[in-house]
Structure 1
Amino acid sequence: MARIAAIVLVLGLCMPETLLAWVTFEAGEIDSSTVKPGAYVEIIYGRGERDPVSEEWERLDTARGYIQAIDTETLTIGERFWKKVIALERIQKLIIATSAQEEKRKSSFDLGADLLSVEFQTGQYASTTLINMGGGLVRTSPSIYMSSFFFNKLAFDLGLGLTSWSYDGGNNTSWMTRSGFTYFPQGATSNSVYVRSVMATLSTDNSSTQFGAGGGLGYRHVFQNRMAVRLETSYMRWFRAKENHIAVRLSFGVVLGRKGAFPEPE
């Protein structure tokens, strides 16, 4: 596991940037002849009141989604579970992702590894454990993970932990698998808090498989659309063992398939 985690770190440092283009429309250039439904766009638009002298809005906001409809006064964007209607007069800039960029965005995912975690176990065998990269008995936070963003704000997660250790009289191996969904309110390409749900299995050589469920709350910081660091607090309940596990962990991940979807802000 330590070797796999090291490979993830090297990928993040050595992976080249992806060169992509985009189509940009400024205020006054946006109408039904230039912008068509179905395109995936980033919109910068004004909020609040508009100054009559400077003609500037109180503040600017950003929205991303598929164009659902456009008429002479409004533009509607959204995805499967939400939509937003924006007045054309408020739009300062509209950026359209090309079909190639959108395919990359759809198939984007994070590949990561835990760097450090502290686990607190309650129950019959209460303990506190410090786990370094790829080591330790991994019950709450797997050593490696993958998050697949099939929606901009929703990811499906898979995790794997594997540990082998020796003791008087023999050896033992444990492995854990984890799956669940994670919701990012600010989206896949932005720094965001997140909340996750978890279902997991834990098996060892000398005992049967047990099942657990839990969740987590954390923060994900994205560096130049290439790397992402996560700080998370999570909880897991193992039902057969009647144990509770609480963990605080720091993870590092490589961002794949999402570079250049939109230009970086100047």
Structure 2
Amino acid sequence: MPDVPSEFRYKRVLLKVSGEVLMGDQGYGIDMKTVAQVAAAIADVAREGVEICLVIGGGNIFRGLSKAAGDMDRASADYMGMLATVMNALAMQAALEKIGVQTRVQSALVMNAVAEPYVRRRALRHLEKGRVVIFAAGVGAPFFTTDSGAALRAAEMGCDALLKGTSVDGVYTADPKKDPTATRYDSLSYQEVLAKDLKVMDASAVALMRDSGIPIVVFSIREDGSFRRTLRGEGAFTVISGDGKSV
């Protein structure tokens, strides 16, 4: 592994991408052009030595808490959502390996034909060897979201930060797509996020990051070069940390 250039703030990060991002301009499913764009952004910094693990949601295909689940029992619906995250992980793996980035998918649900089982020490070794590791199937249990899964894996991997790539460039006082007067926070504390009930991540995920001392950085993954700029501390984003200051 090459040494990480000093321009980057973090050596090892977990990137959480919502499934909806992979839809692109479609209303459903996986837009491989968008997947390729996200893969290129990841490859851009992975080749310079930043160790990257990745969690992708499944909302573009199926979400346990959705109208699509109807009156299905929550556990069954959540397992279906986990399978959706595996599909997204395999699509991202294909896109990354197409451009020469070694990638491993580890699933919290055992499915040896398509992914490795999640083994913490093996995942750490992959990261040390410069491979991108994609964690699929959440935590492997219902009633937990992929936000919780991302926070758990970030803590287990000893990540320097959890970056949440969304369709907006940070955390706002209100939904900027609906409220034109909404303003973006440059920084917040974990406690402010929980007290104000800001819809950044699940409360359990924010609490775990607080207890682990891992900052959450929210940025727009849709903008070209935004992943690199955010890792360098440039551009627009919101940092959530213990003292609410940009780190």
TM-score grouping bracket, smaller chain normalisation: under 0.3
Name the structure where strand makes up a greater proportion of residues: 1
Query: TM-score of the superposition, structure 1-length normalised?
Result: 0.20
Between structures 1 and 2, the one with greater helix share: 2
Larger radius of gyration: 1
